[in-house]
Amino acid sequence: MPPNANIPNIYIIGPQSTGKTTLIHKIQDDLQHWLAGTSIESPSIISEVARTLILEAQAVAEKEALQTSSWFISDRSGFDPLVYAKRYVSPQGVQDLQQLPAWIDVKDRMENALIVVCEAGTPWLMDDGVRLMPGSHDEWMAVFDDFFGLLDQVGFEYCIIPRTMLDLSERADFIRMKWNAKRESAVGNDNTGR
């Protein structure tokens, strides 16, 4: 088996202003340490540069990332538009998105990935003039609830970075620990004939 087979992708998702992009930059800085002593290649990084990207653009970005590396780390997912469609459009809007071929592609990749949800309620919510801002703290928390409610509905496994974990290094270490466990589990499953 090639040394980079079964390396789980990492999706860091959640409501706006929960520290996802900052966390991606920290992980990017720490990758050499993460991968030391392994034969795992560095991942492609898919960073949220255009906040208006939709499901199809995410699917394309993931396919392009996988052309340069066998795995990637992303601070958004094709799942995110489903959450916002549920909150701001309608349940039918979610169902319509789930019929798109792009959703099927993204869903297949997410099923074997490490999905990390950043909890809303962190102290750094601020309007940067670019991203959609919640109208209130309650709305922000409701969007977070929508994330894990829809993750449960779709059947994805995920973990949550609690809003009380404010230290950036601690957040990155949390993800590294979860990623290593997911990676070792994938290797173990292959050794059992799966």
Domain boundaries, the chain: 10-191
**39-48 pLDDT tens trace:** 999 999 887 5
Rounded CA separation 112/5 (Å): 12
Q: What is the DSSP letter of 71?
A: -
Note whether 109 and 10 are within 8 A (CB): no
pLDDT at res. 181:
95
pLDDT for the residue numbered 3: 54
Q: Is the pLDDT of residue 145 over 90?
A: yes
Residue 130 per-residue DSSP state: S
Which band of pLDDT confidence, cut at 50, 70 and 90, is reported for residue 150?
very high
What is the per-residue pLDDT across 53-78, written as a single tens digit (0 to 9) for each?
Answer: 468 888 888 999 999 999 999 988 88
Cα 95 from Cα 72, distance rounded (Å): 27
Residues written for the chain = 194
Percent of the chain surpassing pLDDT 70: 85
pLDDT, tens only, 72-106: 999 888 898 899 889 888 889 899 999 999 999 99
The DSSP result for 5-67, as a single string, is TTPPPEEEE-STTSSHHHHHHHHHHHHHHHHTTS-PPPPEEE----TT--HHHHHHHHHHHHH
Is residue 12 scored above 50 in pLDDT? yes
Angle (CA) 38 179 109, round 5°: 105
Asked whether residue 131 carries a pLDDT value surpassing 70, the answer given is: no
Percent of the chain surpassing pLDDT 90: 53
Q: Which CATH class is domain 10-191?
A: alpha beta
CA atoms within 13 A on the CB side of 156: 26
| List of residues 6+ apart from 96 with CB closer than 8 A | 85
Q: What is the mean pLDDT of residues 4-21?
A: 86
Reported pTM: 0.84
Q: What is the mean pLDDT of the chain?
A: 85
